[in-house]
Amino acid sequence: MTEMSFANIAVVSCGTLSLELHYLKDAGFLDTDHLLFTTPGLHEDPRELERQLIQRINKAKEKADKVLVVYGGKFCYVNAHEPTRTMKKIIEEQGPRVARIEATHCADMLAGDAKREKIAQEVAGGQKVWWMTPGWIKFRHQVFKGWDKGLANENFPRHTGGAIVLDGIGYVDQYMAETPEDFLEYSDWMGIPIQGCPVTLDRFKSLLLDQAYKLGSKGV
């Protein structure tokens, strides 16, 4: 399975996952010349998310035969003004050369439900956790654009297990070592502790491969 090539596939992703995708490209797993990203944090602005996503997909079609979209389905795009419009529908409209990774959101791409539940039990005593990926650290001000301390207080403290960063690239340890004051300030702003949790990128790689195979089997 790992012999699958992404050479004829362009990848379009939320910028929040750019760290993992560049890591896989540098490691030789993702052998595509075309990585395109939308602005991190657009789940807060579904109209702009849809605009950028379609624009990036159209650009990707000019560069490669197939397009693999790295976006969650259930939580990344929620259109309150048009509830029946979903990420699934948007992707279907882009044609048979476009497929999307099968996951609900970025944390789900790195650790599935059972894995996250296991981590929550072991690391947070089974309490409610706010899940993040390294991109939620690096692109904090884009992901939480427009949030003030009051909005943070309404959302984060209910996660009594704190925030856990699913880290498959060793980012959190490096960030804490280089800018500990920023890390502590981030935790203080959220009102909950933040800790990194090392994970492998095996699930992410498997999800990418699944869609690459499906795109290949369509023969379009």
pLDDT, one tens digit per residue, over 66-84 is: 999 999 988 888 888 888 8
- pLDDT tens figures, 112-122: 999 999 999 99
Amino acid identity of 104? T
Label residue 185 by pLDDT band (50, 70, 90): very high
Pair 161, 128: CB distance under 8 Å: yes
CA angle 212, 216, 220 (to 5 degrees): 125
Which of these, 57, 59, 82, lies nearest to 70 by C-alpha position?
A: 57
Domain boundaries, the chain: 9-107+201-218, 112-198
163-167 vs 130-132, strand pairing mode: parallel
Q: Per-residue pLDDT for 218 more than 60?
A: no
Which of these, 201, 29, 27, lies nearest to 111 by C-alpha position?
A: 201
Give the CATH fold of the 9-107+201-218 domain. Rossmann fold (3.40.50)
Residue bearing tokens 């035969």: 65
Tokens of 1: 């399975």
Label residue 217 by pLDDT band (50, 70, 90): low
Tokens of 94: 């882009």
Lowest-pLDDT choice from 16-20, 34-38, 84-88, 135-139: 84-88
